[in-house]
Structure 1
Amino acid sequence: MAHLLYNSAFENYKNQFEEYFKPMGKGLQGLLVDSAMQKTPNTIKAIVPTGRRVRFIQRAITTAVWKAFSTPTEEQHISTLESFVLDVYSKLSLPTKKRVISDAYKLALFQEAVENCVERKELEFYSRDGSNVSTAIIERLADVIYGVKKKGITPELLEQDIAKSSTTDDEEINIHTLHDIVCVYKEYQHLLGEQLADKATITQDVCAALSGKDIHDILLADTVICIDGFTEFTYPECELLAELAHSSVPVVLALEYSVTNGPLFGNLQEVHERLVTSGYKDCDLDAVAISAEASGVIFTPHTSYIRRWLFNTEKEIRNNSFEKNIHILDAQNRVDEVQTIAKYIRYQILHQGVKPAEICIATRQPENYTQLFREVCAMYDIPVNISDRFPLAKSPVVVALFAALNIITHGYRREDLHRALENPYCTFTTNNGTAIDGDTLYNVAVRLRINGGERRRGVVGWINRLENAAQISSRRLEVLKQDLFAEQVEIDSTERQVEEVQEVLQGIKHLQKLLPEKQQKFTVVDFVDCIKSTFIQGLGIQQTIRDFYKHITDTEHYKNDTVRMLETLEQDTRALGELLTLLDEIAFVYSERFGNARRTFGEFVEILEATVRGAKYQIKEETNYGVTVTSIEQTRGIPYKVMVVCGLVDREFPVAYTPETFLGKELPDSEMRHIRAERMQFYMALANNTSALENGTAQILLTIPKYATGDEEFIPSPFVEKLEKISTIASTRISTHHAREQVRYNANSTLWCKDWIDSVSSYDEAMMEFMAKPKSELLQQYFNQQPEHRSITDILDIATTYSHHNQTEVAIRYVLEHTLQQELSNLVNKPISASDLEEYASCPYKYFSDKLIRLDEEQTSTNMLSPLERGTLLHAIVYRFYQTIATELVNDGMAEYLPTKGTAPQPVLVRLNPTEYQYYYETLTRLAHEECNRITYEHPFFELEKETLFGTSTTQGTRKGVLENWLRHELQRIEDGWDFVPVLFEFGFGMKAKQTSAQQAIKVGEIYTRGKVDRVEVKQHPDGSHEFIIADYKTTKPGASLTNITRGEKFQIPLYMAAMQQVWQHDYDFTAMLGGGVYYMFMPPNGKYHQQLLVPNNSSVAAIGVSTRSQSKIPTQEQVQDIMQQSLQQAGNTVQAIAHGTFSIQPQKNTTCTYCSYSSVCRIKELQAHQQQAEFPDEELGNPLLP
């Protein structure tokens, strides 16, 4: 230390303390250890800046005493200044003691203060029209107001600024903003009243209580107060120290201060002047100059030199004493920076004998790095002790609680219900003990378009909609069961829908009983009890934490996994503890303020939410475990052997200064005070271990990331430049990239980092190094020997970035031989659908991701009908229309049947009569209305869907609907000579159905298949033979062209034609000839409502609707047969390729990847780049697997 400030009572201790605090002295820690070892009668009350240093000194004392005497130490009087003030306050004799509120409840009071000001319409800037102030602004106002309060600025002082500005037209003061600050500040102080106090108020009250009095009566006898390690004091703290100037209790402050160091100690200068004025004496312990050279004055020890010259820019002094102790490393980005630091730390631990607890990674803004270090240190097998204060609002425990509370406060919104039900910390069980399934609820709600929310009557709206849907689904199920032609698949599907709706209905009713209503009135005690019993215990949040601990202890895990899980467990436990503490505080403070006043559940939730937003929690620091990762200010006074300072970029270190616009005025010298504080932080990081820096054993690594995300380039911290100007360390500065290149290609490199910069330090790096080998046989050999080391997706992630496309295929295929080969081989004997074949044809890797490893696609919901839902609705309407006409023909005795075998029901040929249009239209619209009622949902968009179906009639004219247009073109096609008659509808083959015994998959060619044909039409020739056409419904355009089929891109029509040929032979008493296929469109943009496909030129319908120019392209009967056989052969080849595990990344068209959900998995762009490299080898792209 360089400077002592002490009061008169300390004179007798001055000489003793100087020996400890002079340069190269033992400092406070040595003083306290020696005092404990000698068991001196006087008691030293040590006050330090951080709790971390309190614990560090306590451990040092305990260890020293135990080693010397094998006995525990006596009580150690070490605390932070905040704890000291609270301790003094608790011992003061005051008429009434105020309750000290937490930082969390302080934010809740600020929110209440703002709301009160808004209600009284006092705010002129933040709520001009009386509107609510956002949460973010309230939090910012709370920070600003509490900040000025800690500086000793009162509302009255701010009002003086307003009065002064109104008379002088001071443009630097925003009167309206400052007026709002004063209003909220006064209201906040009013809410505190005489019962409550924040920490700043306590400091002020202690100052007032000690004014003119002595602190001797409330401290132990012979106590010496020693304050060490502070770089700044707030105004109330400074006033408290001034009150101790004439105390009979000895007081001494050991400061890093020098009169000649204005640029570094400017903020302490004000403290120094204030305390000297109040009666303190000072003593300068700084080193003296030992040499004077032309280049300047050199000091010893090194910390004195750095303190003197670091930010004095009048001269450049190239001191070469730091080259072996301080190094600068430029990294490519934050990830490269953290990974390089991990390599460096492993080297220090494994090769230099440094214990992990003796290493510290410090940064100015820990939030930018803590998660990275968690992930990377786990990857590099480095134990870490990350000191990070976590926001309570982001804790999984609190997130789970508010997920449940939001159900109530937001009116049972669909998203809130799904989020809560799927939260792993919550368990919603019904009375019979079964859990409410979140996915089922969400899927049913999406299908029924139930959004929830207060505007839609909340839980009551859910129950009404679900009960209505249950009735409609049940009626439909009964109709299907009575329908002889209904598919069993559809019956089973409808049964599942009924069961799902009933399940969700019961779940919602249970939630209605379990959860309180938003407007239900509670006292604060009842509210807190409800949160604890109904939510924390009732929903199993507390039990989930216990179960997680049991899982950790009962299951064997890798050591690092166990450590990480225990850390997660501790985070959850401490978050829950902090939450329970906040609830108790809310109950106590609110009861003190309002007694048993009752508020709605929603209002109390708002108070709890505001309180939680201001709270933080911290996991316990593990003693002598792991590398410390923390903020720079937390390292003060702790002498680490290895110090890494990362994130040295401008605007992060030093933190960018931003004027306080929320205050409405800029406080005097704010910017300069900010810069000085940042400088002091940098100096403290360098001077952390004075003795090690002096004897040459200190290791300090300064790292600078070059790029942020993307191509944005960081600017190095100006502090680094300042350090380079007073030393020669710039000569050893190097980037990670160049360092690795030098070490990799120069065996005789003398770089300071050569022993670790290019080392393989993790399992992943070892894998990458291995993958960089040129021969893919090594890859095959490795996975043959160690297949369990990687999951399929991990292997694919590496393998698809390999240099050449053929090696990628080999790698994927080889991995599959060990994991899925047996399952794939069985696919040859399993049915495959036409859609599966077409998906493989569009991209084999897409089929692999979708059908084999079943990666979930992102689901999106819309208030309009999706294309699939719209198509399903139209299919259902048309199906019911033809089935109704068929039933009426049977009832009227006018039905024509197809001959069948056995007892199977005879299909009815449904011949429509164009003259019966009106009757058909009425029947069609009636059935359509019934189907719409089955899926109706409360949203204006559904009315638009119905208008599209049924058309509109207004004063401006009539617009025909989709159904009317479809029916007119059905009848028009008959009038044009279409002589094929519909007979089978939604006909399933190769599956269980009422109208066919074909329950097993049908073999066509070399494959087995099953499916459902939208419609089959049959023509009876005069000679008694039959011909059939496969009809498929499409919404807007045909599903395939002849070119698509011949290229092996589409399979549906050929596959269905071949399958139906076997159906006729198996279930019907005749053989039918191939008549081709046809697409029927409901909403064709070009007005063409049907299009033939594979209809031979000798067919009676081949030319209907076909232009004269296109008639010459109609294939012959032989060509149709050949095309179908070719398509079946291509389908067989596709099944064989799947069975052999061939899943190359070969999209059929460029547009295939445009809307593909798996493009981020296959990384097609990277693959194309590597293929380009193979074509143009002179354009070096580099191996992507190299570090």
Structure 2
Amino acid sequence: MGFVVCNERFKEKFGSISFESLLEQIINKGDVSEFYFVTATNQLAWNFRLDFVEKFYASKRKAVANFVASNLEGLIRKVYESLKIPDKKKILSESLRFLVFKEAFDEAPLNFFKRHSKDKVPLFVIKWLSQIIFGLKEDGITLENFELEMNNSGTSVVNPLKFNDTKLLFEYYQRKLDESNFFDIIDATYFVADKINQFAELGNSVSILDSTPQKTFLFFGFFDFKVPEIKFLSSLAKLSNPVAIFLDFDETNGPLFGNYIDLLLNLKKFGFNTISIGDNKIDSNTNFVKKYLFNNYLGQTRGELAKRIRICATENRYSEAKEIAKLCKYLILKGNIKPSEICIVTKNPQSYSPLFREVFQDAGIPANITERFRLSSSPLIISILAALDVVTRGFRFQDVRKVLLSFYFRFYNQKNSEPIDVENLLGLATKMKILGGKEFNGKKYWESRFRNRLKVIDQRLEMLNSLDYPDPMEVSSLKAERSSVEQAKEDFEAFTFYFNFPDKELSFEDFYDIVTNRIIKGFGVLNILENVANNLVENLGVYSKYDKIAKIEEIERDTRALTKFLKILEEFVFTSSIRFKDQKFSLEEITDLFKVVIFEERYQLSRKPNAGVNITTIEQTRGIPFKVMILCGAIDGEFPMRYSPEKFLGRVLGKSEKRHFENERLEFFFFLTNNNYLFDRNERWTYIFFPKRDSKREFVPSPFIFSLCELLGVSLDEFVFEIGRFSHKEQNVEGMEWVSAITSNVESNIAAIIGDGTSAEQENFQAVELYYKKFEENSLLESKLSEKAKEFIVKLVSRPLSISFLEEYARCPYQFFVDRILQITKPMPEMEIFLSNREKGEILHLIVSNFFKELAQNRTNETADVPNLKLGNKVFVPVKLDPNKKEEYIERIKAITSSILSKFDTEISLFEIDFQEFFSTELGRIGYVQLWLNYELQRANWEFYPVLFELAFGLNTKDSLEAVSVDLGLGESITLRGKIDRVDFLETDDKYEILVIDYKLKAAECKTPRSVEKGESFQMPFYAIALRNIFEKNGITKPLVINLLYQIFDFKVSEKKENVLNYKSFVINDESKLGKYFPQKSTKRGDDLEQIITQARINAYQILKAIRDNKNFAVKPLDSGRICSYCPFQSICKIEIY
């Protein structure tokens, strides 16, 4: 059953006729020039064109001419353009409409949304408010009838302040439109309707659009119209043009089609006729679902529908996408269904489109994803906006970095035509903490910092060269640094040449010139895109079929984004020039306006007919038939979508909420009954998937699923297939064969176990499957690694390894793989204004090490009674501190602190702040260095004397010892390299007592023996192994008694504890004299050290095997909350969706 809603002219000309029959007449006649087809969605218009052209050619064997199909907005704009009226207003695009609204928001005296006057209101909040106002206008509410409509619409006040702000925003927005001589599409619709009505009232009932022959307007695919659209349609009905709206509706359909009843009444009220179209399929599946899907209280069920409907639950969204990909592959290969006959729909494209793009490419399945990308998220557009920010924000470091690292820009030194050394420039700016920005005088600040640094280096070199025996390593280091700074200074000057924009107020045409000529052309964007495209064409043979599609799509994404960007830019410049006439603005003001324009603007890749499995939003499939429909993300809150405009409006709109849920129900109905022909014959498959959880919460299945199960007469628990716990009995269920389909060798092995095994083996199936899944992950990775990559891994673990190498793998194997194996460049961290904790630690290391080295070299310590340490041919002088020389030590270490801090070259205004943190001159405050020296003097009577400072082994430095071999057992060993912060020693007649000290800034950085047992720490036990090896190789035969400690710089003493030093013990040997300083309960004893070393060896052996032999780089961080939060590879790893 259906309805034709038409005007008298259509009724006279065509009578009672279905849309399908009318199409047949049009094709048989062979002339489509008198028809204008209007569809509910752009996607339907696109598909209808393809389908119509194909049918027309099949019938007439010629191309169709003068064929027009658009959505309703397209028709309204076309009619408006055809109107011959003076001083015609411009209809704004969505993005420019938002700009006008943003200006209205800024000017309106709002009491609620601007209650925090100092805080800038986020754009997404303003966007929401814009949509609320636009939605009110779509509901027929105007500024004139606002109060009346709100009071008569059954609304209740939630927040009066919000409500009053909404009214003010409505008022200021309309005023802005009027002042600027603009229409939004709603006002344009009203205007066009009024003009047509005036036209008809004057007796001029001739056709519109100035077309010959007269156009017949055919509307289809709709189930609702907005109030302004109904007014437009009612005006059309008064003309001599035949107008018809085809609705798939039956008066006995019940509550599902409540919107249709209201719609028909409205249209009849405005002069339309309603003609019922007979339907011989009264008892069809489609009509049954229409009547009873959301009418369950009648108890009607139809079990045969369940034969072709399957509901599947997966663990999370990622597994959902993977299972759907497997289903599609099975349908294509085993079910002989074309990819283009399968459609995957969702209500949440933001979550699913990236997943399907990745999973389908990996599975080798062609996909046609009709995703609309945010223009402001395009890497190319981000780069262009960052280039504008460089100038408008005064060469801030983060903007300069973003531009220099952009793939789309190329900068050259004008003197030698060589590319700018980006790594050197940014690395040096980071080290020198060059913040940039207007507050520091922009680019002049960068230049002065480089000049000052060169001056400091030259002064230091001059001083060193005046000495009889200057330190050659420091001289060499300073010369290298000078060369680096000189290069950076020259490169920065070359970089600023590209940003020589007009230093004056600009017209909008000037802004257009800066963006298009200075940035897009001048920075080489067009050349880069052209080169990428040419390179792809030249190397097409290298890529597989689906990799080729992906590469082409990457290029298309950039070109489409740039095309859309330029179109928006042109419209922005054109409309702004009209609005502001001859006014001029600063580059920053125009840039800020333009950013608002593109904030929510989106672009879309070209539609590709029959290019693969269709993946789109659910509303875009209306009227487009498919053989297989797959719904994903069927969870409560997403389908149906929540309705909560009162958050911003300040009132609950009962009627609007009711209509929202009725529309959501209709979308689910159209999904279920897509392709009525096959659905009524039970020949079309329907799959509904929902994830059970994500990393943050549990999901509830959509209430629509419960309604469907009631219609089918089945229990939800019995009808839902748990894919993660799929039983052997379920694999024979029709429509679910794909779950157990053999898609890999591993699954083949599992199938063999199932088929040939005993009942006991059947019971252990899950354990076997888990093992094989783990095996499959590793073998899959290994199969994807090239022989060159495998050789690289072998070489990687064969050379001297650092302790951090092992600990990085232990923290997260996948992070290790991306960093060490793939060697993907880490994003450069944000610059911190003050010294970071890492930098503070490095500085303190240098200060205390230099302090001890100076004392040892100058022989100013009292060590006549302390023997030197001899390692081979080297003699190391121990340092013995004298508490009576505290003032001398303070002056010495203060000078060292000042010298080292100056080399870090922080902002001049922050130098004193940093210095005070290390060495305070303020009364009542003590710096890190002073605190450390106090503790050192307190422990001067321990008889252990510092002797080795920054002891390097296996490093490529002048004073480094050889690398150390560590036996891991079972015939395996590794070569270790590293640096021990400090070693104190005490020699007696029969032994050496060694105290290994590792510096830490905070106590939280210290590890415990438990961390070694867990496999996350190797530092202390491997230091013990290294020292044994070093002492043995250098001829020391006395037994070693090894103690391991952390020394903490930022040490807070509890008031409850007295005489506590800044140490945290790791292992204290019970034979050592240190035992008296560390209580038995607070530390591990000497007997435990061997156990700890053994455990560390075992853990290192397992890591070596995992990397070299198993290629195991699983996404398994030790502590996902801590490690993942700061991981630079979060965009690659999918742990958040597992």
- What is the TM-score when the length of structure 1 is the normalising length? 0.76
Give deviations 1:682-720, integer Å, cap 9, x for gaps: 2323333233334x2641414141513158554443434
Residue 68 of structure 2 corresponds to residue 95 of structure 1: no
Helix, strand or coil at the partner of 1:127: coil
Residue 264 of structure 2 corresponds to residue 282 of structure 1: no
Does the Cα contact within 8 Å between 1:381 and 1:560 map onto a contact in 2?
Answer: yes
Change (3 A) 1:746 1:491: same
Does the Cα contact within 8 Å between 1:331 and 1:703 map onto a contact in 2?
Answer: no
Shift of 1:1002: 9.0
Aligned partner of 1:144 in structure 2 is 132
Aligned partner of 1:356 in structure 2 is 339
Does the Cα contact within 8 Å between 1:363 and 1:646 map onto a contact in 2?
Answer: yes
Aligned partner of 1:1182 in structure 2 is none
Residue 54 of structure 2 corresponds to residue 67 of structure 1: no
Residue 378 of structure 2 corresponds to residue 395 of structure 1: yes
Helix, strand or coil at the partner of 1:736: strand
Aligned partner of 2:46 in structure 1 is 55
Q: Please give the alpha-carbon distance, in whole angstroms, between the structure 2 residues aligned to 1:309 and 1:97.
A: 50
Match for residue 873 of structure 1 among 827, 843, 853:
843
Give deviations 1:568-587, integer Å, cap 9, x for gaps: 22222111111000110111
Q: Please give the alpha-carbon distance, in whole angstroms, between the structure 2 residues aligned to 1:115 and 1:316.
A: 55
Give deviations 1:725-758, integer Å, cap 9, x for gaps: 455577997333379845x3588x4x22243232
Q: Please give the alpha-carbon distance, in whole angstroms, between the structure 1 residues aligned to 2:471 and 2:1095.
A: 30
Q: Which runs of 5+ in 1 are unaligned?
A: 22-26, 289-297, 776-797, 1066-1070, 1162-1186
Residue 992 of structure 2 corresponds to residue 1050 of structure 1: no
Give deviations 1:549-598, integer Å, cap 9, x for gaps: 23322221111111122222222211111100011011111111112321
Aligned partner of 1:11 in structure 2 is 11
Correspondence 1:578-589 to 2 at 5 A: 578-589=564-575
Residue 560 of structure 2 corresponds to residue 574 of structure 1: yes
Residue 123 of structure 2 corresponds to residue 123 of structure 1: no
Change (3 A) 1:879 1:468: farther
Does the Cα contact within 8 Å between 1:4 and 1:282 map onto a contact in 2?
Answer: yes
Q: Please give the alpha-carbon distance, in whole angstroms, between the structure 1 residues aligned to 2:558 and 2:688.
A: 33
Aligned partner of 2:37 in structure 1 is 46
Aligned partner of 1:790 in structure 2 is none
Aligned partner of 1:755 in structure 2 is 737
Shift of 1:92: 1.6
Residue 530 of structure 2 corresponds to residue 530 of structure 1: no
Helix, strand or coil at the partner of 1:623: coil
Aligned partner of 1:734 in structure 2 is 719
Residue 919 of structure 2 corresponds to residue 928 of structure 1: no
Change (3 A) 1:905 1:463: farther
Shift of 1:135: 1.3
Residue 531 of structure 2 corresponds to residue 543 of structure 1: no
Change (3 A) 1:141 1:1030: closer
Helix, strand or coil at the partner of 1:599: coil
Match for residue 256 of structure 2 among 249, 264, 273:
264
Change (3 A) 1:491 1:993: farther
Aligned partner of 1:603 in structure 2 is 589
Q: Determine which structure has more spread, i.e. the larger CA radius of gyration.
A: 1
Give deviations 1:1118-1160, integer Å, cap 9, x for gaps: x99xx99x999999998999699778999xxx99979995999
Helix, strand or coil at the partner of 2:590: helix
Amino acid at match of 2:407: P
Amino acid at match of 1:204: Y
Correspondence 1:497-508 to 2 at 5 A: 497-508=481-492
Change (3 A) 1:516 1:262: farther
Aligned partner of 2:702 in structure 1 is 717
Amino acid at match of 2:843: L
Aligned partner of 1:316 in structure 2 is 299
- Which stretch shows the higher mean deviation, 236-245 or 554-563? 236-245
Does the Cα contact within 8 Å between 2:256 and 2:290 map onto a contact in 1?
Answer: yes
Q: Please give the alpha-carbon distance, in whole angstroms, between the structure 1 residues aligned to 2:824 and 2:842.
A: 25
Residue 52 of structure 2 corresponds to residue 82 of structure 1: no
Match for residue 553 of structure 1 among 525, 528, 537:
537
Residue 384 of structure 2 corresponds to residue 384 of structure 1: no
Give deviations 1:782-818, integer Å, cap 9, x for gaps: xxxxxxxxxxxxxxxx999848999999999999997
Change (3 A) 1:202 1:800: same
Helix, strand or coil at the partner of 1:590: helix
Change (3 A) 1:675 1:860: closer
Helix, strand or coil at the partner of 1:1050: helix
Match for residue 933 of structure 2 among 951, 959, 966:
966
Change (3 A) 1:920 1:521: same
Does the Cα contact within 8 Å between 1:1029 and 1:1074 map onto a contact in 2?
Answer: no
Amino acid at match of 1:537: K
Amino acid at match of 1:925: K
Match for residue 235 of structure 1 among 227, 245, 254:
227
Helix, strand or coil at the partner of 1:613: coil
Change (3 A) 1:951 1:644: closer
Aligned partner of 2:498 in structure 1 is 514
Q: Which runs of 5+ in 2 are unaligned?
A: 200-204, 755-766, 968-972, 1054-1058, 1128-1137
Q: Please give the alpha-carbon distance, in whole angstroms, between the structure 2 residues aligned to 1:60 and 1:843.
A: 52
Q: Please give the alpha-carbon distance, in whole angstroms, between the structure 2 residues aligned to 1:662 and 1:1158.
A: 35
Give deviations 1:298-348, integer Å, cap 9, x for gaps: 924443343344344452233455344544445554444444433443343
Aligned partner of 1:307 in structure 2 is 290
Helix, strand or coil at the partner of 2:638: coil
Does the Cα contact within 8 Å between 2:254 and 2:290 map onto a contact in 1?
Answer: no
Shift of 1:532: 1.7
Q: Please give the alpha-carbon distance, in whole angstroms, between the structure 2 residues aligned to 1:200 and 1:540.
A: 41
Give deviations 1:635-674, integer Å, cap 9, x for gaps: 2222223333333333322223324343344446222222
Q: Please give the alpha-carbon distance, in whole angstroms, between the structure 1 residues aligned to 2:466 and 2:803.
A: 30
- Tell me the percent identity: 25
Correspondence 1:1160-1179 to 2 at 5 A: none
Q: Please give the alpha-carbon distance, in whole angstroms, between the structure 1 residues aligned to 2:475 and 2:768.
A: 45
Aligned partner of 1:562 in structure 2 is 548
Aligned partner of 1:186 in structure 2 is 171
Q: Please give the alpha-carbon distance, in whole angstroms, between the structure 1 residues aligned to 2:629 and 2:796.
A: 59
Q: Please give the alpha-carbon distance, in whole angstroms, between the structure 2 residues aligned to 1:344 and 1:862.
A: 49
Residue 337 of structure 2 corresponds to residue 345 of structure 1: no
Change (3 A) 1:920 1:676: closer
Aligned partner of 1:295 in structure 2 is none
Match for residue 110 of structure 1 among 101, 104, 107:
101
Does the Cα contact within 8 Å between 1:1075 and 1:1096 map onto a contact in 2?
Answer: no
Q: Please give the alpha-carbon distance, in whole angstroms, between the structure 2 residues aligned to 1:170 and 1:1129.
A: 70
Correspondence 1:697-1096 to 2 at 5 A: 698-705=683-690, 707-710=692-695, 712-727=697-712, 734-737=719-722, 741-742=726-727, 744-745=728-729, 749=732, 751-761=733-743, 766-767=745-746, 802=771, 865=835, 869-878=839-848, 880-881=850-851, 918-938=887-907, 946-947=915-916, 949-954=918-923, 959=926, 962-963=929-930, 966=933, 973=940, 1034=999, 1050-1052=1021-1023, 1055=1026, 1059=1030, 1083=1049, 1088=1061
Shift of 1:945: 5.2
Shift of 1:618: 1.3
Amino acid at match of 2:342: I
Amino acid at match of 1:5: V
Q: Please give the alpha-carbon distance, in whole angstroms, between the structure 1 residues aligned to 2:481 and 2:72.
A: 65
Helix, strand or coil at the partner of 2:371: coil
Give deviations 1:206-253, integer Å, cap 9, x for gaps: 112111422515232343222222111111221122123332222222
Amino acid at match of 1:652: E
Change (3 A) 1:472 1:972: farther
Q: Please give the alpha-carbon distance, in whole angstroms, between the structure 2 residues aligned to 1:422 and 1:465.
A: 22
Aligned partner of 2:406 in structure 1 is 423
Change (3 A) 1:855 1:511: closer
Amino acid at match of 1:252: A
Shift of 1:1062: 7.0
- Which stretch shows the higher mean deviation, 864-873 or 178-187? 864-873
Shift of 1:935: 2.3
Does the Cα contact within 8 Å between 1:47 and 1:225 map onto a contact in 2?
Answer: yes
Q: Please give the alpha-carbon distance, in whole angstroms, between the structure 2 residues aligned to 1:325 and 1:838.
A: 53
Q: Please give the alpha-carbon distance, in whole angstroms, between the structure 2 residues aligned to 1:828 and 1:92.
A: 76
